[in-house]
Structures are given as structure tokens and as C-alpha cells.
Amino acid sequence: MRVRENQELIMENVLSFRGKMTQQQMQEEMVEIGQVLQDLGVQKNGPVMTATYAVEQMDNKQVMDIELLIPMNRDIKLPKEYTFKPIIKIMNALCIRHEGHPARLQDTINRLNAYILEHNKQVITAAYNVTVKNAESQEELNDMIIDIYVGCSPCIV
């Protein structure tokens, strides 16, 4: 599991939804977004991406400040609870691939953070998780693939 430098992450025609939610609420929102896209006659056009800005404990539950990002096959007017982003472009990013159960994703993030410290990188974005291979069932959880991108300043000071 190596960290790659100078990577780009580009998505076009993106539906964005940001909110504070639990893992369960996030799954429910993804189902809702799928229904909205279907009702609008729009197709998902690439892997789903998430950006986690903060995690906190509320009422003994882990609540994430998270943004869900879904690329679509065309520009479209979205319902008011969603934001349309014509393009998302992260340049000069570090990328690390997580292969396996998402419960071990934190281990991969820890490796990325160690690399950032060791190489004195200045991170300028949230971490963006791109689900390359999703699990359609419990049995497939160990086969998941998630690429994690963080944008870094190109400045050397």
C-alpha cells in the first residue's frame, strides 16, 4: 500500500449533499439520492465520493460532518437540498488505495497521515474517499476498494 504523489481527482456534473449524519443516516441518504436521480432521469456517471470534515460523538453515536458527491451524466437542476457542482478538481494530491473491509480503513488513513508527516506535506483539502469497488453484500465487504485523496500545497517553504 504505497502513497502516490502528484495525483489528480476530477469529477464533472456532481450532485453534492453535505450534512451531519450517522453511518446509518448516510446509507439512507444515498438511497434517497438514488431515487432523486432516477426521478430526474439522470444516471450516476462514476464512483461515489465522500469528504469527511469532522467526526464527533453525540448521544453515544458517531456523527460525521460529511459531503456526499455523486457524478452525473449531465448538468441538471437539482432539488433545493442538493447542490450542483459543475466540476470538482483536486490537483497535486496524495493518493493511497485501501483494499479490504471498510472497518480497516482507518489503518490506511493512518499510513497516509504518517507519510504526510514524514514528508512534511501541507494538506489543503479534506480527505476524499472514492469508492472504486463497492460491496453489494456482506460477503463482498472484504473485497472493497477505496482510493483516498488529499490535496497538498505545491509550495515548498
Query: Which residue ranges make up each domain of the chain?
Result: 4-152
Does the structure show a pLDDT above 90 at 49? yes
Percent of the chain at pLDDT > 70 equals 100
User: Which grid cell is 144?
Assistant: 472493497
89-144 tens-digit pLDDT: 999 999 999 999 888 988 999 999 999 999 999 999 999 999 998 887 888 888 89
Third-level CATH fold of 4-152: Multidrug-efflux Transporter 1 Regulator Bmrr; Chain A (3.20.80)
